[in-house]
Amino acid sequence: MTSLLLSGGRVIDPANGLDLMADVLVVDGKIAAIGPDARAKLPPDNTPTELDVRGQVVCPGLIDLHVHLREPGQSAKETIAAGTKAAARGGFTSVVCMPNTTPAIDNAGQVALVREKAARDAIVNVYVTGAITKGIAGEELAPIGSLKSAGVVAITDDGHCVQSNELMRRALEYAKMFDLPIMDHCQDYALVTEGVMHEGYWSTVLGLRGWPAAGEDAIVARNILLAELTGAHVHCQHLGTAGSVRLLREAKQRGVPISGEACCHHFTLTDAAIAGSEKFWAADGKAIFGYHDGGYPRPSWPVYDTNFKMNPPLRSAADREAILEALADGTLEILASDHAPHCDFQKEVEFDYAPFGITGLENELALSLMQLYHTKRLSLPALIEKYTANPARLLRLKKGTLSVGADADITVLDPDREWVFERKDTASKSQNNPFYGWTLKGCATATIVGGKIVWRI
C-alpha cells in the first residue's frame, strides 16, 4: 500500500465547491481524505511520502482537451512520450489528442493503436478523439458507432472543418445517438480562401492574404442552428472573434446545447505581433500586458515571425478583448492549448508557406493566470474550473475532481511564482512557440497522476 500526503496547501476543487486550507491524503492512487485531519486517516503502519505545499494551491489534475500528439505518422514533430512530458511540466494530468494524424484516427484500429501506445509511453492520461469524416476529408462520415465502441471521447475533424451542412447534420444525429460530443474547427473555406493572417489593418500593411473574422462566425452560426435542430451538443474549438462569442452567448441564453473554448495565444496576443508591434513588459513587479504606444521600446520580435502563424489566426485587439470578456462571463467555459508542434525546418520558411500552429502545453497555465487571474477578471477557483470540472463534464470523464475515492490526479501550482520560459527547458520535440524568453507569472510545481508524482520542480 502506497500513500502520499500533501500538507498545508490551499485546496481548490470547483467540482465540489471546495476552497480551504487542508491536507490531501492519497492511498493506492485514490483520494482518501481531505481536511486538517487527513493524516489521521492513514492506514496503520503506513508512512506516507509527504509534500509540503504550504503557500501553494492543490487542485484536481488539469485537463487539456485540445492537443496534437502527432502519432501515428508525424513523430518528427511530436510523440506521445514527449508530448505527455510537456503536459506534465505544464501541470496537466490528462490530455485529449486530436485525430488529424497520418493516417487519421477514423476507425477502431487506429484508436486501439493510439491507446496501446499511450499505455506504454505516456506519463499522463491520454484520451482519444475520432474523426467525423473518413480521412478528415469532409466527404463521408467515419464509423461513429465503432469509434465510440473503441473508446473515443468525442469526434472532430480538427485541423479541417466539415463544409457540407447536410453532412454535419447527419454527423450530429449519429453523435447524439451514441452520446458523443462533436468538437468543431470553425472555418468556412469559401470565406477564408488562402488567408494566412487576420484580415485587417496589419494584413494590409504587411501584404499578407487576409483571413476574415466572418470565416469563423459563419460556421459558428451554422453549428448553433444544427445543434438547435438536432439537440446534439457541439463544442466550438479555439474561438477567436468577437462575432463568434456574441453568437455563442445569445445561443446559450436560449438553451442551445453548444459550448466554446479559448486558447491562451488568442487572449494574449493580437495580429499586431506579426508586425513586431506588440509588447509584453513587467512593471513594479507585476505582470502586465500592453501594446506599443511610444512609451516603451519596440520589441525585438522580427516581422513575419512564423511562430505567430496559427489557425485560427491572431485577431484584432477588439477580438482579443471580446474573448477575455467571454471567459469572464462564462460564455467560454473551457481553456485549452491547441498544442500543435511542427519541426523547425517547416517553420523556417516564408510566412505564406509555413504551417499553422504553435506549441502551448508548457506555458498555457501561466498565460491564463496572468491574463485572467492576476488581472482580476476571474477568481482562482473560476479559472481552475475551466481546466478541470468543465472539460471533464463536456467529455464525460471521471476526472476533474478531488472527491474521496476519485483517481488521485492532482496539480500543485504556485500562482505567483515568476519564471522565464526557456527554449532549452522544453520537453516537447518541437519548439515553434512565440513565448520563449518571456517572464511568466504562475506555474505548476508538481503533477501527480494516479497518486504518482510524474513531474516536480
- Alpha-carbon distance 102 to 99, whole Å? 9
Q: Catalytic: 338?
A: yes
CA distances from 349 to 161, 197, 205, 304, 306 (A): 26, 16, 20, 10, 8
To the nearest 10 degrees (0 to 180), the angle between helices 108-121 and 80-90 is: 60
- Alpha-carbon distance 278 to 255, whole Å? 38
Pairing of strands 452-456, 439-449: antiparallel
Identified catalytic residue from 158, 338, 407, 409: 338
- Alpha-carbon distance 265 to 283, whole Å? 21
Which residues are identified as catalytic?
Answer: 338
